[in-house]
């Protein structure tokens, strides 16, 4: 029979929450020592394209498509200037490929005209690009440019709620809450282990709490 031991409450102070965050991070790092971003990339541009393709599509599918097309489109100019039908054909195995082909061309046209073909590094510049939201911008900042940034995807958001690190549902506000709890030098790593934990243990419908490595620090199990 499960016993419920509350590990957090409305009275949990910021420093207690930060300490609990460090404990959970330590546990997840031990559980997933080799985990990293699931999308393959060798340049900021490749990661940007992969992130646009990854919306409502599996990372495995995106990696497979990128492995084929990356040499064909080595620059933003190449993505921007390709004939639309040809690009659709190249991306057809990805979900919503028509819309994504349109978004990639529009984004890369802006890269060419506004940023000399380079992917910019600031949050403000990144979110000013077509098809780039805050999550994509932060994943890029963290993984392509080594900046302390938290990209709140569905796994990070769901787990942060269950773990009692936020009561927010808006991803931007969840990001704000997490930014004060996760040390800068762990922010990118935090996202990787949370995503992996969300995929294999803290599942959306039924989290596997009984075997969870951070159960003793999580208020969710009842």
- What positions carry a catalytic annotation? 135, 153
Query: Is there a contact between 105 and 157 (Cβ–Cβ < 8 Å)?
Result: no
Query: Is there a contact between 52 and 66 (Cβ–Cβ < 8 Å)?
Result: no
Which one of 77, 134, 173, 215 is in contact with ligand SF4 (CB under 6 A)? 215
Provide, rounded to whole angstroms, the least separation between the CB of residue 47 and ligand SF4: 27
Task: Retrieve residue 180's tokens.
Answer: 């004060």
Provide, rounded to whole angstroms, the least separation between the CB of residue 203 and ligand SF4: 8
Work out whether 207 is an interface residue with ligand SF4 (CB under 6 A).
yes
DSSP 188-214: HHHHHHHHHHHHHTS-SSS--GGG-TT
| CA within 13 Å, CB half, 211 | 7
Quick one: which of 30, 25, 43 has its CA closest to 79? 43
Which one of 87, 163, 174, 182 is in contact with ligand SF4 (CB under 6 A)? 163
Q: Which is nearer to ligand SF4, 68 or 200 (CB)?
A: 200
- Residues in contact with ligand SF4, shown as a per-residue x/- string from 164 to 203 under the rule CB under 6 A: -------------------------------------xx-
Which stretches of the chain bind ligand SF4, using CB under 6 A? 162-163, 201-202, 207-209, 212, 214-215, 218, 220-221
């Amino acid at each position: 029979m499960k016993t419920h031991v509350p590990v957090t409450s409305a009275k949990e102070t910021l420093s207690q929450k930060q300490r609990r965050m460090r404990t959970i991070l330590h546990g997840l790092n031990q559980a997933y020592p080799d985990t990293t971003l699931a999308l393959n990339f060798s340049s900021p541009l490749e990661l940007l394209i992969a992130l646009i393709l990854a919306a409502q599509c599996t990372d495995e599918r995106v990696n497979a498509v990128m492995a084929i097309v990356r040499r064909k489109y080595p620059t933003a100019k190449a993505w921007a200037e390709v004939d639309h039908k040809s690009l659709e054909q190249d991306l057809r195995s990805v979900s919503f490929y028509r819309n994504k082909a349109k978004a990639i061309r529009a984004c890369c046209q802006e890269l060419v005209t506004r940023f000399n073909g380079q992917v910019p590094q600031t949050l403000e510049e990144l979110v000013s690009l077509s098809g780039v939201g805050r999550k994509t911008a932060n994943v890029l900042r963290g993984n392509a440019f080594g900046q302390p940034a938290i990209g709140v995807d569905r796994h990070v958001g769901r787990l942060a709620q269950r773990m009692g690190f936020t009561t927010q549902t808006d991803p931007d506000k969840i990001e704000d809450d997490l930014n004060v709890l996760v040390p800068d030098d762990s922010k990118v790593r935090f996202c990787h282990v949370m995503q992996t934990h969300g995929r294999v243990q803290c599942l959306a419908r039924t989290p596997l709490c009984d075997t969870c490595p951070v159960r003793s620090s999580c208020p969710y199990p009842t």
